[in-house]
Amino acid sequence: MHRPSSAKDYPHPAIAREGWLFLAVALAIAIAATFARWWVLAAPAWLAVVFIGQFFRDPGRAVPAQTNAVLSPADGRVLFVGKALDPYLERQALKISVFMNVFNVHSNRSPVDGTVKEKWYHAGSFFNAALDKASLENERCALYLKTGGGVDITCVQVAGLIARRVLCYVQPGDSLARGQRYGFIRFGSRVDVYLPETAIPKATVGDVVYATTTILAELS
C-alpha cells in the first residue's frame, strides 16, 4: 500500500528547477538555429534539449506505507551493501551505496521521516563515483537524520567524475518526510546511506533501485 506524493513533496513539475536555465538556453539555441536553417547547429541543439529534459526530469513518486522502511534516496544501481565505518557519526554501520549514471533521475529524496540534526559539506575531488574512494575523497554533502524513534541515519550525496555541483536545500532543525525532495546532484554521482548495524538490508549489489519507491532496508 502506498500514499500519494503531495505537491509539497514535489514542488517542481516535470522538470527540476535546477534544469530550467539549461533547458531554456538549449531550447532558445535550437529554435533560433532551426528558423535560420543552420542545420549543423540545429540538430545537436535539439539533441541537447532532449538530453537535458531527460536528465533533469523530476517525477512524483508513491511512498510505501511500511513505517520501518528505509527508502532509496536516489535512482540508480546498488554498488555496495555491507558493514562499514560511518565517518560522520564515527560508528560501525550498515552502508548501502547507490550509483547514478547520466540517464537516471538525479533528484534526491529523504530515506526516512526524521529531523536534520547536522549537515556537513566537504569540497573534494571528482573521481568516478563508482569507486569506493569517492565516498571519502569526492565533493560531498552529508545529512545526519534522527527518526522519531531515535534511530540515527546518515545520508551522503557524493559528486562524481562529471558532476561538479552537489545541491542540498535543508539545514539542521528541518524536518523531512519519507520521499521528500531535499537535493540534487548534477550529472553522474552516488548516494551513501549509513544505517544502524541492526538494520536488515533488502537490496543487494547490482539491484536497480528507484528513489522513494524502492525499500533499501528495514529498521529493526
Name the residues annotated as catalytic.
189
The count of residues in the chain is: 220
| HSE value, Cβ hemisphere, 13 Å, CA-based, for 159 | 21
Helix%, strand%, coil% for the chain, nearest 5 = 20, 40, 45
Q: Cα 75 to chain center, whole Å?
A: 7
24, 44, 83 from 36: Cα distances, Å: 18, 15, 59
